[in-house]
Amino acid sequence: MNKRIYIGLLCLTVVIALPFGTDAFLGRSWVRLLDFALLYTMLALGLNIVVGYAGLLDLGYVAFYAVGAYLYAMLASPHIGMHWPLWALLPMGALLAASFGAVLGAPTLGLRGDYLAIVTMGFGEIIRIFLRNLNITNGPAGIDLIDPIQIGNFSFGSSHSLLGWDLPSIYNYYFLFIVLTAFIVLVSYRLSDSRIGRAWAAIREDEIAAKSMGLNTRYLKLMAFAMGAAFGGISGVLFAGFQGFISPESFTMGESVMILCMVVLGGMGHLSGVIMGAILLAILPEAFRPLSQFQQITFGHVWLDPANLRMLMFALALIVVMILRPEGLWPSPVRRRELHQNDAMPASVQKEGP
Amino acid sequence: MNALHSPTHHLLVAKGIGKHFGGLSALDQVSLNIPSHSIYGLIGPNGAGKTTLFNVLTGIYRADEGEIHLNGVSLTHSSPNEICKQGIARTFQNIRLFGNMTAIENVMVGRHVRTHSGMLSAILRLPSQRREEQEMMAHAQGLLDFVGIGHHANQIARQLPYGDQRRLEIARALATQPKLLALDEPAAGMNDTETATLGRLLQKIKASGVTLLLIEHDVKLVMGLCDRVAVLEYGRLIAEGEPISVKNNPRVIAAYLGTEAA
Ligand SMILES: Nc1ncnc2c1ncn2[C@@H]1O[C@H](COP(=O)(O)OP(=O)(O)OP(=O)(O)O)[C@@H](O)[C@H]1O
Ligand SMILES: [Mg+2]
Question: Hey, where are the domains in chain B?
Answer: 8-87+178-262, 96-169
pLDDT, tens digit, 9 for 90 and up, residues A8-63:
888 888 888 788 888 778 888 888 899 999 999 999 999 999 999 998 988 999 99
pLDDT, tens digit, 9 for 90 and up, residues B186-216:
998 888 899 999 999 999 999 999 999 999 9
Q: What is the pLDDT of residue A283?
A: 86
Q: What is the pLDDT of residue B261?
A: 42
In a domain, A308, yes or no: no
Is B85 a residue whose pLDDT tops 60? yes
Q: Nearest by CB to B122, from A191, A206, A341: name it.
A: A191
Residue A155's beta-bridge partner residues?
A150
- Angle subtended at Cα A287 by Cα A11 and Cα A249, rounded to the nearest 5 degrees: 100
Is B23 a residue whose pLDDT tops 90? no
Nearest CA to ligand 1 atom 11: B26
Q: Which is more confidently placed, A145 or A160? A: A145
The mean-pLDDT minimum among A145-149, A237-241, B42-46, B172-176 falls in: A145-149
Q: Nearest by CB to A191, from B89, B99, B123: name it.
A: B123
Cβ of B109 within 8 Å of Cβ of A191? The answer is no
- Structural domain span for residue A45: 31-266
Q: Which is more confidently placed, B53 or A318? A: B53
CATH node for B8-87+178-262: 3.40.50.300
Is A218 a residue whose pLDDT tops 70? yes
Q: What is the pLDDT of residue B7?
A: 64
List of chain B residues whose C-beta atoms are within 8 Å of the C-beta of residue A182: none
Is A317 a residue whose pLDDT tops 70? yes
Is B179 a residue whose pLDDT tops 90? yes
Number of domains in chain A: 1
In a domain, A260, yes or no: yes
Residues in the ligand 1 pocket, defined by CB under 6 Å: B 21, 24, 26, 44, 46-52, 93
A109 touches chain B (CB under 8 A): no
Mean local confidence (pLDDT), B138-151: 96
How far away, in angstroms, is A187 Cα from ligand 2 center?
A: 43
Closest C-alpha among A114, A129, A9, A131 to residue A68: A131
Percent of chain A whose predicted confidence (pLDDT) is above 90: 42
List of chain A residues whose C-beta atoms are within 8 Å of the C-beta of residue B173: 213
Q: What is the pLDDT of residue A306?
A: 66
A198 min Cα distance to partner chain B (Å) = 6
Mean local confidence (pLDDT), A303-322: 74
- Residue A206's alpha-carbon distances to A120, A125, A203, in angstroms, are 22, 30, 5
Is A347 a residue whose pLDDT tops 60? no
At residue B144, what is the residue type? L
Is B14 a residue whose pLDDT tops 90? yes
In a domain, A247, yes or no: yes
Mean local confidence (pLDDT), A194-219: 95
The mean-pLDDT minimum among A134-138, A166-170, A295-299, B5-9 falls in: B5-9
How far away, in angstroms, is A215 Cα from ligand 1 center?
A: 25
In a domain, A306, yes or no: no
Ligand nearest to the CA of B19: 1
What is the rounded average pLDDT for all residues in chain B?
Answer: 91
Q: Which residue of B has its CA nearest to A340?
A: B100
Contacting residues for B145 by C-beta, under 8 A, at least 6 apart: none
A111 min Cα distance to partner chain B (Å) = 17
In a domain, A323, yes or no: no
Cβ of B109 within 8 Å of Cβ of A198? The answer is yes
A210 min Cα distance to partner chain B (Å) = 8
Beta pairing, strands B65-70 & B10-21: antiparallel
Closest C-alpha among B78, B98, B100 to residue B87: B78
At residue A256, what is the residue type? S
